[in-house]
A and B are shown apart, each in its own frame.
Chain A
Amino acid sequence: MASNEEILAGLAEIVNEETGLAPESVEMDKSFTDDLDIDSISMMTIVVNAEEKFGVRIPDEEVKNLKTVGDAVEFIAKSQS
């Protein structure tokens, strides 16, 4: 099981791969849409890659609740426990 810091680092790597954003700009309080300018299609790619990386399932209905990077980190951490 990964710590929140490890999940954040992994997620930042996935976001970087999809969008080219610097990993350090992916911070807990950042909004995927408003701050990082990630569209709904890129979000789905990030979600699927996160599922694979962290071995969790993130249903479509859940994706719209993941507004900030912190929401995603918490959801992944909860799913792993």
Chain B
Amino acid sequence: MTTPTLNQSPLQENTRIHGLGICRPEVIVTNEDICQWIDSSDEWIRQRTGIVTRHRADKDTSVIDMAEAAARAALEDAGIEASQLGAVLVSTVTHPYATPSAAAQLADRLGATPAPAYDISAACAGYCYGIAQADALVHAGTADYVLVVGVEKLSDFIDNTERTISFLLGDGAGAVIIGPSDSPGIGPSVWGSDGSKHESIRMTHSLLDVRDLSLAALAEGPEALSSAAESAIWPTMLQDGPTVFRWAVWEMAKVAQQALDAAGIRAEDLVAFVPHQANIRIIDEMVKQLGLPEHVAVARDIVDAGNTSAASIPLAMHRLLAENPGLSGGLALQIGFGAGLVFGAQVVVLP
């Protein structure tokens, strides 16, 4: 008996971003607010980070709520129905359940069921990881249209009195629809990880520690906590700023250059540079290292939005396009990098 030939998904030659939508939560946290919690000043924070305000979500707004708002706007912008989605990907590190995923509930809320849905844990590189995945899924013929959401409610995982990272962080969501295209719209992804540096951006302690600390506090009272946790039961973010800065600028400039080379694009061909919004000094130094010409618009949404991890690139891209509609259709270099350590970069055609 001869083995019959099976069908394989037909390949899709080109992909692009079909639509972009965002959600900016309404609570504005100023540097003056921050200075109630840490001994600092507006000038110090601006000079070291570029940040003037951050948007944060209120207590009742969840990661899934913000993801839904951004996703609906992206679907509308793309002009497609949720029922056409072949996959729903949510990049986040702040959905407060290990399982089930935020993506499955988001797909249900949107009316995309039974689209496959899953979360991606790649911190500040999460959006670029999502684009890499969506591009591959559409390319391979596995899905027609893929929703990628980068969303964070970092305000749930900060300690306002902590000085290395908490004051940088904001909340928000950005979403794009990736689908087939007549011409190339997403360059090859240059992405990777370096887990040897996993401690340079991290949580103070694990969920298992939370369990043990809670049980100890219940049994023995709050004094049981002092030896085990430095400050609290709840885990929050920490970073080794100078180490991260060095990696983010000099290692990531190389990755950004590789993404340009892989796409066959020169810096002068770009209309925009949309890096992860981690710190304005990282952005400015990367621009210098990459030798970007003056005409390339550089996203600096961090000034108002703070660092929103997986949401920062689509938020910054949305703002750039709102302020400069003429950039639409031009080439943008995007790069995300963060806790893991992980990184991802692509050249894309702006929607």
**A residues neighboring B (CB under 8 Å):** 39-41, 43-45, 47-48, 60, 63
Contact = CB atoms under 8 A, between A and B. Distances in A.
A40 B241 contact: yes
Nearest to B240: A60
Interface of B: 48, 240-243, 245-246, 249-250, 279, 281, 285
Contacts of B241: 40-41
A19 to B, nearest CB: 12
B245 A44 contact: yes
A43 B250 contact: no
Given A41-B48, A41-B281, A45-B285, A60 B250 contact: no
Contacts of A60: 240, 242-243, 246
A39 B245 CA distance: 12
Contacts of B249: 44-45, 48
B39 to A, nearest CB: 15
Contacts of A63: 242
A61 to B, nearest CB: 9
A48 B242 CA distance: 12
B245 A41 contact: yes
Given A41-B241, A45-B249, A45-B285, 11 more contacts: A40-B242, A40-B245, A41-B242, A43-B242, A44-B242, A44-B245, A47-B246, A48-B246, A48-B249, A48-B250, A60-B246
Q: Which of A40, A41, A47 has the most CB of B within 10 A?
A: A41
A68 B22 CA distance: 47
A8 B202 CA distance: 37
A5 to B, nearest CB: 28
Nearest to B241: A40
A45 to B, nearest CB: 7
A40 B241 CA distance: 8
21 contacts: A39-B48, A40-B241, A40-B242, A40-B245, A41-B48, A41-B242, A41-B245, A41-B279, A41-B281, A43-B242, A44-B245, A44-B246, A44-B249, A45-B249, A45-B285, A47-B246, A60-B240, A60-B242, A60-B243, A60-B246, A63-B242
